[in-house]
Amino acid sequence: MYLHIFIASISFYFNAIQMKEPLVFDFGEGKDFGRWSIINDGVMGGLSESKAELSSDAILFSGTVSLKNNGGFVSLRSPLGNYDLSDFSFCEIRYKSDTDRKFELLIEKETPFYLPKYRKKFGEKSEDWQTLKIPLRDLEISRMGNTMAKGIDPEELDGIKRIGFILADKQEGSFEIWIDYLKFY
């Protein structure tokens, strides 16, 4: 009897520890790029173009945003999954960009485009690597690019379907951003 309780207690303890392991997407050749994909405004008739290229230690997300045909966004998104971010307090992004554009971290609980998403703008023009730490409670809830609420309860971040980056700043022109890693902890 006591042995069963002891084993159950140990099992619970180790499961709790495992839940706290950071979720890390470490980009570069032979790393975590996996099946990340490009989704641009072409899905709704837009003409924006983007691509993702791996280097030895990062991913280069680059292209051109066009506002023609009601377009205006490009994105790089993780494979569909069931990511539980509710135990984490922060997101860290290591990036560099010689583009003076505002990118956004994009977290999707549901994938249809018309349903709300969690977002946080970032992007400081820099030739040097920047490490940005985002408190998850500071994410904004938006629907089709319009902010609905600022600040969320991190408990809402269970059952996330997809994570990614989007550029939807209503500016035409080229862009590029190097991303070394994305980490939730």
Fold exhibited by the domain 23-184: Jelly Rolls (2.60.120)
pLDDT tens for each residue of the chain, 185 residues long: 554 454 444 444 445 555 579 999 999 877 766 789 999 999 889 999 999 999 999 999 999 999 999 999 999 999 999 999 999 999 999 999 989 999 999 999 999 988 999 999 999 899 999 999 999 999 999 998 889 999 888 889 999 999 999 999 999 999 999 999 999 99
Task: Identify the pLDDT of residue 6.
Answer: 46
Domain segments of the chain: what residues? 23-184
Length of the chain: 185
Alpha helices in the chain (DSSP H): 2-19
Task: Identify the pLDDT of residue 88.
Answer: 97
Task: Identify the pLDDT of residue 35.
Answer: 86
Structure tokens at 16: 């709790």
Are 23 and 85 contacting, i.e. CB atoms less than 8 angstroms apart?
yes
Instruction: Provide the whole-model pTM.
Output: 0.86
| Residues 8, 27: Cα–Cα separation, whole Å | 37
E strands along 28-161, which residues? 37-40, 49-54, 59-65, 74-77, 90-97, 103-108, 117-122, 126-135, 140-143, 146-150
